[in-house]
Amino acid sequence: MQLLLNELVEKNRQWVHFGKVATYIPELKNANPNALGIVIVDIEGNVYRAGDYREKFTMQSVSKPITLMLALMDRGAEFVFERVGMEPSGDAFNSMRKLETINPSKPLNPMINAGAIAVTSLILGNSYEEKFQRILDLFRKISGNPNLQINESVYLSEKRTGDRNRSMAYFLRDVGILEGDVESILDLYFKQCSIEVDCEDIARIGVFLANQGIMPDTKEQVVPKEITQIAKTFMVTCGMYDESGEFAINVGVPAKSGVGGGIMCAVPNRMGIGVMGPALDPKGNSIGGLKMLQVLSKELSLSIF
C-alpha cells in the first residue's frame, strides 16, 4: 500500500499545473499550488501517508457534512429538512439562482453554501461562542486531534470578502429559513470553514464515517449510525458540487471537497482517505486529488456501486 501511494502522488503531480488555487477568498491565494498529498487510515487503524501530507489547509466545504451531523443531532431530521432540501442542485456551490425560483424557497441541499449556512444556523448553544465551541469540539473529537484550530487569517479574509454568502444569508432570513442575527450566523459559518487540518485529520474523520459513527479505536458511538448515513448519502449525491455524478462514476465513494484543496472520502467499512492539493479544477475540486482518487479506486476496487 505504501508503495502504491508513493507512486500515486509522483505519477499525478503533473496535474497540479492544470489547476488554479482559489482566489475569491484572498488569503487562499497563499496556498502552495504544487502541493499534493494523501493519507489513508483503514478501519484496522493502519495509516499510510505520501506526498505533501503534512501541508495544512482549511476545511472549507469539507466541514459541511460534519456540521450537518451536529445540526441533525441537535434538532432532528424533520426540523432540519423543513429548512433545507435533499436534492442535488446541478449548480455551482455558491450559486444563488435557484433560491428564489424553487417553491418552497429553501436551499436544495446542505452541501451548497446556502444550505450549509442554513444548517449552521440550527446548531444549538447559549451564545455564538458556545455554538462554535460545540462545532470545534466535534471536529476535534472525530478527527482524534485535540489541537484543531481556525486559521485566523483565512477566517478574517472570508469574513471581509464573503458578500455572496452574505447576500444569500440575508435572502434566507427574508424567506424565513434563517432566524437570528445574520452576521453572527455567517461568522459561525466562516469559522467552521476556516478550521485548519491536514490530510490525516480528514482521513480520520473519513474512517469515522466509514465506521458508522463509531470511533475505530475506542468503539465509542459519537454520532448515531442513521445520521452518518445521511451525511454519506449527501456526500455521494452532492459532495463534489456539480461534479458529483462524474465522481460517482469514476471513483464511486462518499466524498466531500473544499476550495482549500481538501477531499475527504469515507469508504464504507474499509477506510477514510484524506487528500490535499490546492490547485483546483473549474468546478472547485482539487485537480490532482481527483486524478489520484480515480486511480486509487480502480487499484483497490473502492467503488461502492
Report the interface residues with ligand GLN, using CB under 6 A. 60-61, 93-94, 113, 158, 165, 193, 258-259, 284
Of 16, 21, 64, 95, the active-site residue reads 64
Q: Which is nearer to ligand GLN, 95 or 165 (CB)?
A: 165
CB of 76 to ligand GLN, least distance (A): 26
Q: 53: annotated binding-site residue?
A: no
Q: Helices 128-143 and 199-210 meet at what angle, rounded to 10?
A: 80
Q: 241: annotated binding-site residue?
A: yes
Q: 189: annotated binding-site residue?
A: yes
Q: Which is nearer to ligand GLN, 254 or 258 (CB)?
A: 258
Residue 241 is a catalytic residue: yes
Residue 253 is a catalytic residue: no
Question: First vs last Cα of the chain: how many Å apart?
Answer: 23
Q: 152: annotated binding-site residue?
A: no
Q: Which is nearer to ligand GLN, 6 or 20 (CB)?
A: 20
Q: 259: annotated binding-site residue?
A: yes
Residue 225 is a catalytic residue: no
Residue 64 is a catalytic residue: yes
CB of 160 to ligand GLN, least distance (A): 13
Q: 269: annotated binding-site residue?
A: no
Residue 259 is a catalytic residue: yes
| SS3 of the chain | CHHHHHHHHHHHHHHHHHCECCCCCHHHHHCCCCCCEEEEEECCCCEEEEECCCCCEECHHHHHHHHHHHHHHHHCHHHHHCCCCCCCCCCCCCCCCCCCCCCCCCCCCCCCHHHHHHHHCCCCCCCHHHHHHHHHHHHHHHHCCCCCEECHHHHHHHHHHCHHHHHHHHHHHHCCCCCCCHHHHHHHHHHHHCEEECHHHHHHHHHHHHCCCECCCCCCECCCHHHHHHHHHHHHHHCCHHHHHHHHHHCCCCEEECCCCEEEEEECCCEEEEEECCCECCCCCEHHHHHHHHHHHHHHCCCCC
Of 39, 53, 61, 267, the active-site residue reads 61
CB of 73 to ligand GLN, least distance (A): 22
CB of 182 to ligand GLN, least distance (A): 15
Q: Which is nearer to ligand GLN, 121 or 211 (CB)?
A: 121
CB of 47 to ligand GLN, least distance (A): 25
Q: Which is nearer to ligand GLN, 284 or 289 (CB)?
A: 284
Which residues are the active-site residues?
A: 61, 64, 189, 241, 259
Binding-site annotation: residue ranges: 61, 113, 158, 165, 189, 241, 259
Could you list the residues known to form a binding site for substrate, using ranges: 61, 113, 158, 165, 189, 241, 259
